[in-house]
Amino acid sequence: MMFMNLFCTLKKKFLQNFDSPLAATYNGDSSSCCKVAAAGCPPAADAQTFHGKRWEDIRTWTAAIKLGRTANEALECAVGLLRGEAKLAFLIEKKRGGDFGCWKKFLEWAIEKFEKALVLRKTDFFGFVANEKRQEMALTDFVATAFELSIEAEIEEVSTVRAIVSSLPLSLRRLPDVEKISTSEELLKAINVLSGQGKLAWEKKPLFKRNNPPKRTCYHCGKGGHVASNCRAKKKEQKDNKVNALLCRASGSHPLRVEGEINGRP
């Protein structure tokens, strides 16, 4: 528990240091994290909205909703606090005849719908850090998202740091300060230093261009500038052969036409 609290604190600090789009989810300013008094809840009670995002814990949310409320009050409050994907999923299920007549049935549906198995969350983390498309996002966002996924999957700190460091560009991994990183605090410190030096970026792959375009040579006629499939001489020969075959059949003679003598006969 102490490790998870420390990890969450480090994640918040990281997102505050960098203007990451993920920071809105954790800095207390997002609508998904701000506390609102929902219709149907007791006047003195505030609760968080639930959007069905992967970083939201359905069990923690439902436990907070139920705390200090009766089953009917909790059901009314929970339905009123659904937002975005979660609300859409609820309305679709209700239209299909889903039974939400009591808190217990709503709770069973919500957990089945929005709780992700721990093994799948671990797969998401390791798949994310190994995905080649990670370079399409800013490096700071990549590190922040990797931390987020590791917290959700409850992956050990050493494994998390090792996986993130191994996914950094080779030029950064070879730096002495980066090679010896073993804790999340050291990783956060190194990220701050590299960012201040302007080195926190993915490596750009060089574009190789030919000075001279490749020369194409036709294997049929031996001339350059085209290939056999576009060779005019080859197409003309094919056309002439078809015409000769048609003329041969039209004359009623044998389709085999030769010049000269065969067995001493013309």
- In terms of Cα–Cα distance, which of 13, 14, 31 is closest to 138? 14
CA 227 to chain centroid: 41
- Domains of the chain by residue range: 31-114, 225-255
Compute φ and ψ for 217, nearest 5 degrees.
Answer: -125, 135
pLDDT digits (tens, 9 = 90+) for 132-169: 777 778 888 888 888 888 887 788 888 888 888 888 88
| Dihedral of the alpha carbons of 60, 5, 141, 34, in degrees to the nearest 10 | 50
HSE-CB at 37 with a 13 A cutoff on CA atoms is 4
pTM for this structure? 0.41
CB atoms within 10 A of CB 211: 4
CA 172 to chain centroid: 23
Q: How far apart are CA 17 and CA 196, in angstroms?
A: 11
E strands, the chain, where?
35-36, 47-48
Residue-wise DSSP of 97-134: T---SSHHHHHHHHHHHH---HHHHHHHHHHHHH-GGG
pLDDT digits (tens, 9 = 90+) for 63-106: 899 888 899 999 999 999 999 888 998 999 888 888 888 999 99
